[in-house]
Amino acid sequence: MKIRTALSIGGLAVLIAAPVLSAQQERFRKTPPPPEPLQQELGLPALSAPTVLSNGLRVSVAYRESAPFMGLELLVNAGENVSPDAEPGLATFVASLLSRGTQTRSATEIEEIVESLGGTLFVTVNQDYVRISFHVLQENLDPALDLLAQMLLQPQFSEREIANVRRIITYDLQEKESNPEFVAKRQLYRLLFKGHPYEKFAVSRDLLRNWTPRDIQDFFDRYYRPNNAHLIITGNLSLSQATRKISHVLNTWPAREIPGSPQKPVRPPDKDRVCLVDLPQSSDACILFVGTAFPRPDPADRFALTVLNQVLGGSLSSRLLMNLRESKEFANYAFSEVDVFRSAGLLFIRARVLPDKVVPALQEIQKEVRALATTRPAVPTEIELAKTYLLGNFPLGLERFDQFTARMADIIALGGGEELWNGYYGQVMLVDADRVLDAAQRYLLPLPFVAVIAGDRASLTGRLAALEAYDIYDSKGQFLATSTKDKKGALHEAGGMRPEFQRRPGQK
Amino acid sequence: MPFKGRWTWGWAAALTSVLLLPAPASGQKSGSLPLTHYRLKNGLNVILSEDFTLPVVSVAVAYDVGSVHEPQGKTGMAAVMENLMFSGSANVPPRQHFNYINRVGGTFNALLMEDRTVFYQTVPSNRLSLVLWLESDRMRFLEIGSRAFEDARAAILEDLRDRRAGDPYYDGARAFDQLLYSDFAHSHSLYGSEEDVRGLTLDDLRAFYAARYGPNNAVLCITGNFDKLKARELISQYFETLPRGRDAAPAAEPLALARKQVVTTFAGSASSAPAFHLGFRLPAPRSVDFYTLTILDYVLLRGRSSRITRRLLNPDAKIAYQLSGGIEKRRDRSVYKIFVIANNEAMAERCQSALFAELDRLKSSPLSEEALGRYKAMFKQDFMGRLSTTVDRALYLTDFFLSLGDFQEFGLELDKYLSVTPADIVGIVARYFSPENSIILNVRTK
């Protein structure tokens, strides 16, 4: 009772006092304060040329005096692009087995060792490479290197662990396949990278083969070689100390000629294309992924594309969201992203739209993309806003130890340099309206776009009537039919395999 | 949507302005954090900690307010207020707080806990003044209009419905809190009841704001790359003139240990799988036993090699379907919670037996130094992780101050955790993890 009385009196006081206090505010409270000058130097450890050990292993050190952890990032050129064409997923499968046992340690024992070192051990696989990320407390670098060496020099691929990994990957894919965003993005990758080694990254459960320990060992022996790897140590350690320690544990890792995997340039799509992925349970909203692929941009173009992307759909104040959500109310969200791989670049838009607005949303997305290169190029104020965001946000993404090491490793793995690291501020500042327009005209305007709609086919069919044609796939990416409009405007569906899609991903 | 979670809590006694030098060399990084703590005349506690690694700065403002401060019939006020704090103030238009932070590349979030609400943001270091402007404006000039209030209340009601719909064990967990905590303040839901939230009025929220969101009921912490003198000038400019609010109520009494095991049943679960909650009452977080209890938490539940995890989730003899738990700390009380979902009733009973068997084993066969060392390494990794970013440090420092009331122990705590011995573990298990001090709620399916 006492509390209630006190609260009521407090409320009354606020009601009475509020207008008076507002009137008494100091002048400086009326407007946001101006920014201080931006610190020009990021002060990150330099990405210097690596030391190469006698067996070909490249070694780099990122010196971080105050870090309580030591980070080991082992990059191996064994991403999905080197999986055999008929065996998509093999690279991921092998990488997943690396921590599942050695000739002297079981998977459980490895887990216990990692924990006893105050550590974490993660393996990630992408199109181009595998990254083994092993972080431990600073005082535990030596045992961490010992364990890493065991995993590389004495791997053990047992039937039991192969079965476990198969179960884990299958379950993981099953979970992801219930996510419309995952399904739509995977389908976009498949269509954009059709016939390119990157296509194998978009694997589905039914494509995983029953690999034997021999298959795994063969792949491992071919690609997990020191002359195909780069070890980066982050922490309070000099390059000479690092080289000595690494030589001590990995000097017996034998080099071998690596099978050739030429960087095949990606071919942009030949024409605009729309496809529908049928997700019967997604009747309330549908996901749109619209993108195009192009040869890997040079560094200057890359920064222009980054700023362009920011204007288009990189933030909550970007054009796509302002148009599709705030103005037209077609979408819950609409963002764009730029990805750069070793032999390709990719710009895509992802949006969650209302099912009855999917076609107009698609048209608005296309309009916004084209407008950047034609009728409504990015203006200086938009570009300054985009640059402010990028400059401010960049160091935030380097604060966590794992973020820092991952970012640096990715730059090194993809052949980038200081321009993406200590030179990031300077490169962003150099971008102006002319360069953004030039990038839009060269990368966006001439290139056809592929659009993937992931949603419930039954509820969407009538709503897609405005489209001239679209292909229909199931959730695993199997082609089902093509819907085309005849001269009278009526839609017809024709099933069967389209010639260019008869070969399933990874199949010869 | 701001993140909701739990955090440690404690309230500070009055402190005089003091510059704290680094603690004696402990060999640990926490001891080398630069630290300045002082208090403004209006009661606002200020903590500054510089780090020039990256051009980034974090600001956290923690208020001594949470669900424990809600009277009966008015639950949900803290949750609604957390939402309203983003609804605009005299000089910041509605919902623009986020835009101001986002446009400069920053990030923001909020933590709502039973006894604390924390707002925090990280921005490039040249934008520190922007955050101080935003935080001071909502600390004094928050505008609680009827539309903002209705929107915030609707958001909390939707959140409550989503939680109940998405978690078949939600009601059981609320029932367990009522068994574990002995008073209304601690036993009611963090988000309130739907009935209470619907009954809240604009005046309730305005009064709650006036009573709890003043500078003397808050801690401001800045960490990262900033000039300390300049920061003090900015803090003085934006916060010094804000009037002092009402003083907070004194801390509640610590929770008494149970003297007789309580076992009861909750029959309203919407799930098809049986489950149970097991709880033990613990001493207040300031107790010296807390260092050992924290390490024991790692022995029992943290990591894949922890005792209970391995016993219940062992792939070769998996008897539980899901396992979670740990220490739940509040201002002056703490409990240990374990929640287990089993495949059937028989397995649920086996899980309970296995849990108490593991606790007995810790008493009868003490851990080896080596085994304990493994758990301590995991703890140390997490401890260091809590200091790894500027915002982590801001949250850690506000937590430290609010839990202990001062920084006298600052820099020493890691050594205390790492000094725990196998014998300490035996003693703590015997003292707090007995069947007599346990409370069990069996959750039965409909």
Q: What distance in Å separates residue A25's CA from the closest CA in chain B?
A: 9
A111 reaches B (C-beta below 8 A) = yes
A175 burial via Cβ count (<10 Å: 0-12, 13-18, 19+): exposed
Looking at chain B, which residue has its C-alpha nearest residue A10? B207
Nearest to A91 by CA among A73, A76, A100, A78: A78
How does strand A58-63 pair with strand A229-235? parallel
Q: What is the pLDDT of residue B253?
A: 64
Q: DSSP of A82-117, one letter per residue? A: GS-TT-TTHHHHHHHHTTSBBSS-BHHHHHHHHHHT
A167 reaches B (C-beta below 8 A) = no
In this structure, the dihedral spanned by the alpha carbons of residues B149, B155, B157 and B158, taken in order and rounded to 10 degrees, is: 160
Interface test with A, best of B305, B314, B380 (most A CBs within 10 A): B305
Q: Which residues of A78-100 are buried (b: 16+ CB within 10 A; e: fewer)?
A: bbbbbbeeebbbbbbbbbbbbbb
Residues A58 and A198 in one domain: yes
Q: Which of A4, A39, A119 sits opposite B55 (nearest CB)?
A: A39
Place of tokens 């051990």: A121
Task: For the beta carbon of residue A261, count every other beta carbon within 10 angstroms.
Answer: 15
In a domain, A32, yes or no: no
Looking at chain B, which residue has its C-alpha nearest residue A37? B126
Taking the alpha carbons of A125, A129, A132, A138 in that order, is the dihedral positive or negative? negative
ipTM: 0.87
**A484 - beta bridge partners?**
A469, A492
Residues A351 and A462 in one domain: yes
Q: Please say whether the beta carbons of B216 and B41 come within 8 A.
A: no
Q: In whole angstroms, give the CA distance from residue A414 to residue B265.
A: 58
DSSP helix/strand/coil, B5? coil
How does strand B334-342 pair with strand B275-282? antiparallel
Residues A229 and A283 in one domain: no
Residues A281 and A389 in one domain: yes
In a domain, A55, yes or no: yes
Q: In whole angstroms, give the CA distance from residue A274 to residue A484.
A: 11
Cα separations (Å) of A382 from A426, A432, B26?
18, 10, 50
Residues A242 and A283 in one domain: no
In a domain, A398, yes or no: yes
Looking at chain B, which residue has its C-alpha nearest residue A116? B374
Q: State the residue range of the domain holding A60.
A: 51-250
DSSP category for residue B127: G
Q: Please say whether the beta carbons of A72 and A220 come within 8 A.
A: no
For helices A141-153 and A239-250, the axis angle rounded to 10 degrees is: 40
Q: What is the pLDDT of residue B412?
A: 87
**Cβ neighbours for A462, distance < 8 A, ≥ 6 positions apart:** none
Which residues in chain A are closer than 8 Å to B380, comparing Cβ atoms?
118, 137
Q: In whole angstroms, give the CA distance from residue A351 to residue A319.
A: 13
Looking at chain B, which residue has its C-alpha nearest residue A394? B105
Looking at chain A, which residue has its C-alpha nearest residue B203? A11
Q: Please say whether the beta carbons of B59 and B132 come within 8 A.
A: yes
In this structure, the dihedral spanned by the alpha carbons of residues A241, A243, A247 and A248, taken in order and rounded to 10 degrees, is: 10
Q: What distance in Å separates residue A396's CA from the closest CA in chain B?
A: 7
Q: Which of B91, B124, B387 sits opposite A392 (nearest CB)?
A: B124
Q: DSSP of B174-206, one letter per residue? A: HHHHHHHS-SHHHHS-TT--HHHHHH--HHHHH
pLDDT class for B255, splitting at 50, 70, 90?
A: low
Interface test with A, best of B52, B98, B126, B229 (most A CBs within 10 A): B126
Token pair of B133, please?
A: 């402007």
In a domain, A261, yes or no: no
For helices A299-309 and A380-396, the axis angle rounded to 10 degrees is: 100
Q: Which of B71, B141, B206 sits opposite A21 (nearest CB)?
A: B141
Which residues in chain A are closer than 8 Å to B303, comparing Cβ atoms?
115
Q: Strands across the sheet with A58-63, in order? A: A51-52, A58-63, A229-235, A69-76, A130-137, A120-125
Residues A180 and A322 in one domain: no
Q: Please say whether the beta carbons of B57 and A395 come within 8 A.
A: no
**Between vectors from CA B63 to CA B60 and to CA B65, what angle results, nearest 5°?**
145
In a domain, A36, yes or no: no
Q: In whole angstroms, give the CA distance from residue A75 to residue A123.
A: 10
Q: What is the pLDDT of residue A269?
A: 83
DSSP category for residue A280: T
Residues A207 and A280 in one domain: no
Residues A315 and A219 in one domain: no
A15 reaches B (C-beta below 8 A) = yes
Token pair of B157, please?
A: 């009601």
**Cβ neighbours for B229, distance < 8 A, ≥ 6 positions apart:** none
Interface test with B, best of A15, A36, A404 (most B CBs within 10 A): A36
Token pair of B262, please?
A: 């309580």
Which residues in chain B are closer than 8 Å to A9, comparing Cβ atoms?
207
In a domain, A19, yes or no: no
Q: In whole angstroms, give the CA distance from residue A27 to residue A23.
A: 10
Q: In whole angstroms, give the CA distance from residue B257 to residue B241.
A: 45
Q: What domains sit in chain B, N to C, each tagged with a CATH number?
A: 18-239 (3.30.830.10), 262-445 (3.30.830.10)
Q: What distance in Å separates residue B202's CA from the closest CA in chain A?
A: 9
DSSP helix/strand/coil, B275? strand
B-contacting residues in A 376-405 (Cβ below 8 Å)? 385, 388-396, 398-401
A5 reaches B (C-beta below 8 A) = no
Helices (H), A251-400: 299-309, 319-321, 358-373, 380-396
Task: For the beta carbon of residue A488, count every other beta carbon within 10 angstroms.
Answer: 5
A35 reaches B (C-beta below 8 A) = yes
A350: enclosing H helix or E strand: strand A345-353
**Cβ neighbours for A454, distance < 8 A, ≥ 6 positions apart:** A180, A181, A183, A184, A187, A276, A277, A279, A282, A286, A287, A288, A289
**A288 - beta bridge partners?**
A351, A453
Residues A130 and A170 in one domain: yes
Span B419-433, pLDDT tens digits = 999 999 999 999 999
Q: Which amino acid is at B42?
A: N
Q: What is the pLDDT of residue A411?
A: 96
| Dihedral pair phi/psi, residue B177, rounded to 5° | -60, -35
Q: Which amino acid is at B190?
A: L
Q: How many CA atoms lie within 13 A of B4 on its CB side?
A: 17
Residues A95 and A234 in one domain: yes
Task: For the beta carbon of residue A305, count every other beta carbon within 10 angstroms.
Answer: 25
Q: Do B71 and A385 touch (CB under 8 A)?
A: no
Compute the average pLDDT of residues B355-376.
95
Q: Please say whether the beta carbons of B20 and B382 come within 8 A.
A: no
Would you give per-residue pLDDT tens digits along chain A (508 residues)? 333 333 333 333 443 344 444 447 899 999 999 999 988 789 999 988 899 999 999 999 999 888 899 999 999 999 999 999 889 999 999 999 999 999 999 999 999 999 999 999 999 999 999 999 999 999 999 999 999 999 999 999 999 999 999 999 999 988 888 889 999 999 999 999 988 999 888 777 777 888 999 999 999 999 999 999 999 999 999 999 999 999 999 999 999 999 986 677 888 888 899 999 999 877 677 999 999 999 999 988 999 999 999 999 999 889 999 999 999 999 999 999 999 999 999 999 999 999 999 999 999 999 999 999 999 999 999 999 999 999 999 999 999 999 999 999 999 999 999 999 999 999 999 999 999 999 999 998 888 899 999 999 988 888 898 898 999 999 888 899 998 887 777 777 776 544 444 444 444 3
Residues A296 and A238 in one domain: no
Place of tokens 């890792």: A253
Which residues in chain B are closer than 8 Å to A69, comparing Cβ atoms?
381, 384
A351: enclosing H helix or E strand: strand A345-353
Q: Please say whether the beta carbons of A45 and A233 come within 8 A.
A: no
Span B56-73, pLDDT tens digits = 999 999 999 999 999 999
Q: What distance in Å separates residue A464's CA from the closest CA in chain B?
A: 32
Q: What is the pTM of this model?
A: 0.89
Q: In whole angstroms, give the CA distance from residue A386 to residue A128.
A: 29
Which residues in chain A are closer than 8 Å to B54, comparing Cβ atoms?
42-43, 395, 398-399
Q: Which of A43, A119, A398 sits opposite B381 (nearest CB)?
A: A119
Interface test with B, best of A9, A14, A134 (most B CBs within 10 A): A14
Q: In whole angstroms, give the CA distance from residue B334 to residue A146.
A: 41
Span B140-199, pLDDT tens digits = 999 999 999 999 999 999 999 999 888 999 999 999 999 998 888 899 999 999 999 999
A248 reaches B (C-beta below 8 A) = no
DSSP helix/strand/coil, A322? helix
Cα(first)–Cα(last) distance of chain B, in Å?
33
In a domain, A28, yes or no: no
B-contacting residues in A 296-325 (Cβ below 8 Å)? 315-317
Domains held by chain A: number: 2
Q: What is the pLDDT of residue B14?
A: 27
In a domain, A45, yes or no: no
Q: In whole angstroms, give the CA distance from residue B133 to residue B127.
A: 10
A169 burial via Cβ count (<10 Å: 0-12, 13-18, 19+): middle
Token pair of A507, please?
A: 């199949």
Span B44-59, pLDDT tens digits = 999 999 999 999 999 9
Q: Per 3-state DSSP, what percentage of chain A is helix, strand, and coil (rounded to 5)? A: 45, 20, 35
B20: enclosing H helix or E strand: strand B18-20
Residues A155 and A283 in one domain: no
Task: For the beta carbon of residue A210, count every other beta carbon within 10 angstroms.
Answer: 8
**Range with the largest mean pLDDT of A299-308, A488-497, B6-15, B240-249:** A299-308
Nearest to A315 by CA among B125, B96, B105, B126: B105
Which residues in chain B are closer than 8 Å to A335, comparing Cβ atoms?
none
Which residues in chain B are closer than 8 Å to A11, comparing Cβ atoms?
203-204, 206-207, 210
Higher per-residue confidence, A11 vs B415? B415
| Dihedral pair phi/psi, residue B152, rounded to 5° | -65, -40
**For the domain that residue A320 is a member of, what is the CATH number?**
3.30.830.10
Q: What is the pLDDT of residue B250?
A: 63
Q: What distance in Å separates residue A68's CA from the closest CA in chain B?
A: 7
Nearest to A294 by CA among A374, A387, A193, A226: A193
